[in-house]
Structure 1
Amino acid sequence: MEPKHVLEVVDMGIDTHQEPVIFMREDCDICRAEGFSASSRLTLSANGRTLIATLNVVDNHVLPVGRVGLSKIAMQQLHTKNGSKVMIQHTPLLTSLSLVRKKIYGHALNQDEITRIITDISNHRYSDIAIASFLSACAGTRLDVHEIIALTKAMVDCGKRLEWPDHDRIFDKHCIGGLPGNRTTPIVVSIVSAAGLIIPKTSSRAITSPAGTADTMETLTNVNLKLADIQRVVGETGACLAWGGGVNLSPADDLLIRIERALDLDGEGQLIASVLSKKIAAGSTHAVIDIPVGATAKIRTQEEAGRLASLFSEVGTACGLVTRCVITDGSRPVGYGIGPVEEARDILSVLQNLSEAPQDLRQRSLMLSAHLLDMALGNGLQDCLKQAQQLLENGEAWKQFQRIVRAQGWSKVLPTAHYQHDEPADRSGVVTAIDNRRLARLAKLAGAPFHPAAGLRLAVNVGSEVQAGQPLFTLLSESKGQRDYAMEFYHDNGPIFTIDETS
């Protein structure tokens, strides 16, 4: 029988993100007896829970004899505390890793095979390296439509699922991203739920962008809702604006997103499965998908957008979700703010009908609202657009947003960044292009989304006339180091703003 070794737990207080890590002394008798070494995968058991963790070997002075250290996520997963006992064993071979290797060598995976991989990932059995291998093998267009359908279903099945027995149709919307400042979701949710649609919106945090909807909404209210809270809020208001990662809806998705962020990957199949699994798990029956297209957006050509829209529709249909893909202009950033707090300022100004509100964000939100209303009512886009405009202009959408915020727990005061830097134009002319990708990168280097007040605020957009010395944007950061690092990137990597002096 395999030996079962028991040691006393020390909370190391180390954040290893979502990868559980165990720390053992280099002279530990168990390591020597069992042949454990750095990066070994070990099975930990405590309080009736089991977890697979990666071993880190530390110098002897770091831990007392007979103790084992655990990272924060390991402590949380095992529901253990300082001084508790944990049993340590070898980890059985994960047979699903052979399926990852199968995909690496270019072979298609079936539903059962993908389900086995996703189940092991969602149960924290994969190391970060193994997850990265799976994501890399699936990147680009390496998943066919049958694999994407299988991946979507597996991601739904590995978590909880919301049900709405009192409603036949549940609505949702999503933007695939790649367009800085395009924070339409809170405005759309407010408009269409004011019209009576049920829209329990759960959103992800940023993957490769300076902010996700959950990051932005967290600057305004509580987004870490439990399933019961989501059902209560939706029962009271017809909508919610919550973080999906906190309620175990498609939990594998958040584990994959964390590695995607590190690799700066957002593959086609994973993108579709990520979006649709969250919609299906939230109980949605109808969804509008915003696909921005532009030279520096995530999707660069109409042909690519058409292919993606077709895949969304086919996968959605196979999974019981009615989807409508809307291909939109992705040639320029949207609104003025980029980063959680600055995007929140734009949202509030649109909902309150302020004169300084960004009109491009307002118009995009109205257009997407019209598509959702048309899916629900079938009155045609023009009539639905008029209805959306009326709900925004008469203040009903703003009242609805306030109801949602109150129901979710509290409202917050938006903070101001400690450091602000105005960057001037180096010439006079007309702004003819803005590089979305590098603009997003600039905001991230300034600290967004991890520092909510960080990012930037645009003073111009495509089509703006500028004079030499006039501010192009204000960079916002929480430290001088981030400010200087971001501006070094801005000056050393070619123009983000193209200014045509002859126009």
Structure 2
Amino acid sequence: MLRVKALAIDTLQENVAYLHRDCPLYSIEGLQALMKIEVFCQTKQPAIVAVLNIVDDTKILDIDELGLSSQAFKQLAKKNGSIVSIAPAKPPRSLTAVHKKISGEALNKDEFQQICQDILQSRYSKMEIAAFLVACSHSGLEREEIFFLTKAMVESGERLNWGESIVVDKHCIGGIPGNRTTMIVMPIIAAHGMLMPKTSSRAITSPAGTADTMEVLAQVELSIQQMQAVVQQHKGMLTWGGTAKLAPVDDMLISVERPLSMDSTGQMVASILSKKIAAGSTHLLIDIPVGPSAKVHHNQQALKLRKLFEYIGDLFGLYIDVVISDGSQPIGNGVGPALEARDVQLVLQNDPKAPFDLREKSLRLAGRILEFDPDVRGGQGYILARDILESGRADEKMQAIINAQGKQTSAISQVPFQFAVCAKTSGFVQAIDNLIIATTASLAGAPTDKRAGIDLIKKVHDKVNQGDTLFIIYAGYKSEFDFATDYAKRNNAYHISKSKPQQQDNYFI
């Protein structure tokens, strides 16, 4: 029998237990580091499953104590000093299905269901989750497999019902730095009176997710009850989906995808749609940016992805409108939470300094969503969205939602480190590499450091002279500043040519 001790260690979506090497159970039970154990609280059924780490320092843990990471202790739901027992955990049965997937075989509905349930119950270590993700990415997922995985992830958590016939949402598949259109679209839609309870993700492979940027302005970690209160009063919200336990298996998979920089097609579709279905959406707009340095490089890929979204959405009764947009360069000027929040506020406030491309794309997306309303005629959505923005109603709605969610009172401190990347030649900006810009901003500390990121001074079509500033890197810490500036010097994000590129205004391809 062991006494539970909470250790303030954040293990990021993984249950971890700690045992002293001199504990008698260590030798009697044949325990060793990184094996999984079951923790019992005076019942025959294990309360939690955790990965075991071994401690040699009695200042950290006594020999009769079982240390638990923050997540594991919260999941156990017992007080410090509570008595528990432990035993080696049985291997999850669903690992057989993972081995099948590694071999390239297709999995059925029950196999995906069991895998997701075992992941939810922390029966998988992060290494085993990584094996599952890599197998799905390498072997690929058939359309039916994506449906099975999506359904299993939806059923792993709560599912909201707003009691409305039309509940709208939007999602961009990502890959375009600064593309923070959701924070402009949502208040426009809510000001019109349509329901848009937006749950967003944090960054997986990018310098900022929508939730990371919204967190600069307001609280985003709300309970389901808090979400319902905000939406009931204001018709919209913008929160992080993790705290509401919507498709929680997806969050556990993302915690492994993030350090691996993985974002495979099948997993991405299941991730996006499971969150939207769990959030109670009935109508969804999906933005697929296409460009040489976007996630999707060619129109043919985008059309294939659109058919996949529509196929899976139809099986769930979810109406999906997919737009294919121009992803040839970053949208807006700021890349990183604080800088993106600044751009959003400039657009909502109708400030002359607002980035035109961010404003225009947001209006076009909002217009498509407004046309989900049967009272809005086809082709009139853009004009209606523009009127709502220019009247100030969208900004008023956004401020009301920020206050309802909990306005951030702590100001973002000034960034101590800045570096200007300048043009080596004169000419016109022909192209900007999205991946290099995103990687540079991430190396600078975004999104963990809300201040960090990049401010784009020049965009495609702009004329530049040798020595002109192309973009500025902001970093809060010297080590990250050095990483980012060194990377920017070795990788040319801007392509400058003597001839001016052809002007295009086709935000949707």
The TM-score, its normalising length taken from structure 1, stands at 0.96
Equivalent position of 2:6 in the other structure: 11
Quote the Cα distance in structure 2 between the aligned partners of 1:320 and 1:57.
49
Q: CA deviation at 1:452?
A: 0.7
AA aligned opposite 1:84: S
1:460–1:81 Cα change, 3 Å: farther
Count of paired positions: 496
State the secondary structure of the residue aligned to 2:271: helix
Query: Pick from 99, 120, 123: which aligns with 2:121?
Result: 123
**Superposition pairs for residues 300-311 of structure 1, below 5 Å?**
300-311=297-308
Residue 334 (structure 1) aligns with: 331
1:472 & 1:45 partners in 2: Cα distance? 59
- Give the secondary-structure state (helix, strand or coil) at the position aligned to 1:375: coil
The CA RMSD measured in Å over matched residues stands at: 1.5
SS of 1:207's partner is coil
Change (3 A) 1:338 1:110: same
The C-alpha deviation readout for 1:207-261, integer Å capped at 9, x for no partner, is: 0000001000011001111001111100000011010001000001110111111
Tell me which residue corresponds to 1:94: 92
Match of 1:396 in 2: 393
Q: CA deviation at 1:420?
A: 2.0
The residue number in structure 1 matching 2:504 is: none
- Specify whether residues 281 and 69 from structure 1 end up closer, same or farther in structure 2 by C-alpha distance, changes over 3 A only: same
Give the letter aligned to residue 223 of structure 2. K
The answer as to whether partners of 2:19 and 2:63 remain within 8 angstroms in 1 is no
Q: Which residue of 2 is the match for residue 29 of structure 1?
A: 24
Q: Distance in 1 between matches of 2:12 and 2:200?
A: 19
Asked whether the equivalents of residues 415 and 476 of structure 2 are also in contact (C-alpha less than 8 Å), the reply is yes
Letter in 2 for 1:336: N
Tell me the percent identity.
44
CA distance in 2, matches of 1:330, 1:150: 31
Gaps of 5+ in 2: 501-509
State the partner residue of 2:34. Answer: 39
Report what 2:473 is aligned to.
Answer: 475
Residues 467, 80 of structure 1: CA spacing in aligned structure 2 closer, same or farther, 3 A cutoff?
Answer: farther
2:363 pairs with 363, 366, 376, which one? 366
CA shift, 1:68, in A, is 2.1
Corresponding residue for 1:3?
none
Structure-to-structure mapping, 1:382-393, within 5 angstroms: 382-393=379-390
Task: Tell whether the 8 Å contact from 2:201 to 2:211 is kept in structure 1 after alignment.
Answer: yes
Maintained 8 Å contact 1:141/1:268: no
Residue aligning to 1:454: 452
Alpha-carbon offset, residue 414 of structure 1: 4.2
Corresponding letter in the other structure for 2:447: P
- Unaligned runs of 5+ residues in structure 1 are 1-5
- Pick from 150, 153, 169 the counterpart of residue 152 of structure 1: 150
The alpha carbon displacement at 1:403 in A equals: 1.3
Partner in structure 1 of residue 62 of structure 2: 64
Q: Distance in 1 between matches of 2:387 and 2:340?
A: 23
The DSSP-based 3-state class of the residue aligned with 2:208 is coil
Inter-partner Cα distance in structure 2 for 1:441 and 1:81: 43
Question: For the Cα contact (< 8 Å) 2:197–2:236, is it kept in 1?
Answer: yes
Distance in 1 between the 2:140 and 2:439 partners? Answer: 26
Q: CA deviation at 1:346?
A: 0.5
More displaced, 65-74 or 217-226?
A: 65-74
Q: In structure 2, what residue type is equivalent to 1:246?
A: T
In the alignment, residue 9 of structure 1 is paired with which amino acid? Answer: V
Contact 1:427-1:501 at 8 Å conserved across structures: no
Residue-by-residue CA offset, 1:401-453 (whole Å, 9 max, x unaligned): 11111111224444432322222222221111111011101000000000111
- The aligned amino acid for 1:298 is K
SS at match of 2:225: helix
**Deviation of the 1:72 alpha carbon:** 1.6
Structure-2 separation of matches of 1:490 and 1:206: 21
**Match of 2:16, as an amino acid?**
V
Query: In the alignment, which residue of structure 2 is the partner of 1:313?
Result: 310
Q: Aligned partners of 1:245 and 1:316: how far apart in 2?
A: 22
Q: Note the C-alpha offset of 1:30.
A: 0.6
Residue deviations 1:29-53, cap 9 Å, x none? Answer: 1121111111110011349871111
Match of 2:507 in 1: none
Deviation at 1:56, TM superposition (A): 1.1
Letter in 1 for 2:354: A
**Which AA in structure 1 matches 2:149?**
L
Number of the residue aligned with 2:347: 350
Give 2:27's aligned amino acid: R
CA displacement, residues 285-343 of structure 1 (integer Å, 9 cap, x when unaligned):
00000000001001111011001000000000001111010000001000000011110
Distance of 1:152 and 1:392 partners within structure 2? 35
Moved more, 451-460 or 369-378: 369-378
